Amino acid sequence: MDSRRLFSGSFSLKNIHPSVLITAVFLVAYPSFATDFFIFQIGAYSLILGTIALSLMMLAGYGGMVSLAQLTVAGLAAYLMAILGDNSMGVMGLGWPWWLTVIVSVLGAALFSTFIGAVSVRTEGIYTIMITLAVAVAFFYFVRQNYVLFNGFTGFAGVEPPTLFGVYWRDPVPFYYLSLVVAVGFFAAVSYCARSTFGLGLQAIRDNPRRMRALGYNVTLHRIVAYFFSGIVAGVGGVLLVWFNGRVSPGTVGVDVAIDILVIAVVGGMRHPIGPFLGAIAFVLLENFAIDLIDRERFNMVIGAAFLLVVLFSPDGLLGLWNRVRDRLRFRGNAQLSAERVNKDDPASSGSLEKS
Amino acid sequence: MRNFIERHTFWAIVLLLVVVLFLWMIFAVWPDWLVEAFGRKKTFVNTLLNGVTLGGLYFLVASGFTLIFGLMRNVNLAHGSMYLLGAYIGYEVADRTGNWFLGLAVAFLAVAISGVLLQVLIFRRMANDDLRQTLVTIGISIIAADAMLAIWTGTTYQFSPPDWLFGAADLPIISVIKSSGAAVYIKYPVFRLVVLAIAVAVGIGLWIFLNRTRIGMMIRAGVNDREMLAATGVNVQLVFVLVFAIGAGLAGFAGVIGGTALSVAPGEDIRYLLASLVVVIVGGLGSITGAAVGALIIGLAEQFGLAYFPTYGVVLTFLIMVVVLAVRPQGLMGGRG
pLDDT at A354 over 70: no
Q: What's at A328, amino acid-wise?
A: R
Q: Which of A145, A301, A356 sits opposite B130 (nearest CB)?
A: A356
Per residue in B77-90, pLDDT tens? 888 999 999 999 99
Task: Give the domains, in start order, of chain A with CATH numbers.
Answer: 1-33 (no CATH), 35-355 (1.10.3470)
Strand partners, B184: B176
The whole-number pLDDT of residue A339 equals: 54
Chain A: give the shortest CA distance to residue B16, in Å.
Answer: 30
Asked if B41 and B177 touch (Cβ cutoff 8 Å), the reply is: no
Question: CA–CA separation, A315 vs A309, rounded Å?
Answer: 9
Tell whether B140 lies on the interface with A, counting CB pairs under 8 A.
yes
Tell whether B323 lies on the interface with A, counting CB pairs under 8 A.
no
Measured CA distances, B32 to A22, B35, B37 (Å): 79, 5, 9
Strands (E), A87-159: 156-157
Per residue in A298-307, pLDDT tens? 777 888 888 8
**Could you write out the three-class secondary structure of B65-117?**
HHHHHHHHCCCCCCHHHHHHHHHHHHHHHHHHHCCHHHHHHHHHHHHHHHHHH
Per residue in A304-329, pLDDT tens? 888 888 888 777 777 777 777 877 77
Contact B142 A134 (CB under 8 A): no
Tell whether A77 lies on the interface with B, counting CB pairs under 8 A.
no
Chain A: give the shortest CA distance to residue B298, in Å.
Answer: 13
The whole-number pLDDT of residue A333 equals: 63
Contact B142 A311 (CB under 8 A): no
Total number of residues shown for chain A: 356
The whole-number pLDDT of residue A15 equals: 63
Q: Lowest mean pLDDT: which of A154-168, A265-279, B107-121, B286-300?
A: A154-168
Segment (H or E) for A168: strand A167-168
pLDDT at A347 over 50: no
Chain B: give the shortest CA distance to residue A46, in Å.
Answer: 21
The whole-number pLDDT of residue B220 equals: 82
The whole-number pLDDT of residue A6 equals: 47
Chain A: give the shortest CA distance to residue B132, in Å.
Answer: 7
Contact A134 B321 (CB under 8 A): yes
The whole-number pLDDT of residue A337 equals: 55
Contact B130 A119 (CB under 8 A): no
Q: Which of B142, B273, B325 sits opposite A122 (nearest CB)?
A: B325
Asked if B74 and B212 touch (Cβ cutoff 8 Å), the reply is: no
Tell whether A294 lies on the interface with B, counting CB pairs under 8 A.
no
State chain B's mean pLDDT as an integer: 83
The whole-number pLDDT of residue A230 equals: 92
Q: Which residue has the higher pLDDT, A334 or A207?
A: A207
Average pLDDT over residues A72-99: 81
pLDDT at A112 over 90: yes
Q: Which residue has the higher pLDDT, B257 or B315?
A: B257
Asked if A274 and A187 touch (Cβ cutoff 8 Å), the reply is: yes
| A–B interface: beta-carbon pairs under 8 A | 116
Q: What phi and psi values does residue B99 have, to the nearest 5 degrees?
A: -115, 110
User: Which residue in chain A is spatially nearest to B269 when comparing CA positions?
Assistant: A255
Q: What's at B139, amino acid-wise?
A: G
pLDDT category of residue A66 using cuts at 50, 70 and 90? confident
Tell whether A304 lies on the interface with B, counting CB pairs under 8 A.
yes
| Cβ neighbours of A255 in B, within 8 Å | 270
Q: Quick one: what percent of chain B has pLDDT higher than 90?
A: 13
pLDDT at A9 over 60: no
pLDDT category of residue B337 using cuts at 50, 70 and 90? very low
Question: CA–CA separation, A153 vs A20, rounded Å?
Answer: 44
| Cβ neighbours of A353 in B, within 8 Å | 131-132
pLDDT at B294 over 80: yes
Contact A131 B139 (CB under 8 A): no
Contact A129 B326 (CB under 8 A): no
Contact B143 A354 (CB under 8 A): no
Q: Which of B129, B131, B329 sits opposite A66 (nearest CB)?
A: B131
pLDDT category of residue B201 using cuts at 50, 70 and 90? very high
ipTM above 0.85, yes or no: no
Q: Quick one: what percent of chain A has pLDDT higher than 90?
A: 12
Asked if B241 and B93 touch (Cβ cutoff 8 Å), the reply is: no
Strand partners, A168: A163
Contact B311 A146 (CB under 8 A): yes
